Amino acid sequence: MALIKPLRNIEPQIGENCFLAENCSILGEVVLGENCSVWYNTVIRGDVCSIQIGDNVNIQDLSMVHGSYEKSKVIIGNNVTIGHSAIIHGCTIEDNCLIGMGAIVMDNVIVKKGSIIAAGSVVLENTVIEAGTMWGGTPAKLLKTLDLEESLKNLEVFAQGYVKCAALHK
């Protein structure tokens, strides 16, 4: 069973129809929307900041979601896919985005809707990723502009695939 633990007298709130892997940890001031999946060995640690996660979000194996004390909080929109071993730290990720495997997204970054952060990228503090763009590298830089409507659709379909995949693990 997943470790769900209150911190500072704040209990994590878990939405309906979520899959929480047996060895994931969700601690403190965390709100998780509906139809989300938190995969194996993932940690969502709301000890020093709030973490708000929308609906249909998948946070894949070995990922970490955290923020900085009195500096940042985490807001993740709907239909967001966070790849294996990603670090999401004190940033905002809007709806229908993909954060690639092993990517690091730092404090006060804003990833606007329909955007993709390539695998292994490091998005430096205070960066604004415009809607419908793909960024990659270390440090991450703009790689290309996407067709926003197409990107929003494709990334929603991708997120829905993980809702179905999570059903296999329940």
Q: Is the pLDDT of residue 44 over 90?
A: yes
Identify the band that residue 21 occupies on the pLDDT scale cut at 50, 70 and 90.
Answer: very high
Average pLDDT over residues 57-86: 97
Q: Specify the pLDDT at position 70.
A: 86
Report the percentage of the chain scoring pLDDT > 70.
Answer: 100
Please, what are the domains in the chain?
3-169 (2.160.10.10)
pLDDT, mean over the chain: 97
**Per-residue confidence (pLDDT) for residue 59, from 0 to 100:** 98
Quick one: CA torsion of 96, 101, 107, 113, rounded to 10 degrees?
A: -10
pLDDT at 56 (0 to 100): 98
Phi, psi dihedrals of residue 99, rounded to the nearest 5°: -110, 115
Angle among Cα 111, 157, 73 to the nearest 5 degrees reads 30
Q: pTM value?
A: 0.97
**Total residue length of the chain:** 170
pLDDT at 170 over 90: no
Indicate if the pLDDT at residue 130 is higher than 90.
yes
Summarize the confidence of residues 28-42 as an average pLDDT: 98
**Which residues make Cβ contacts (< 8 Å) with residue 67, sequence separation at least 6?**
48, 49, 50, 51, 73, 74, 89, 90, 107
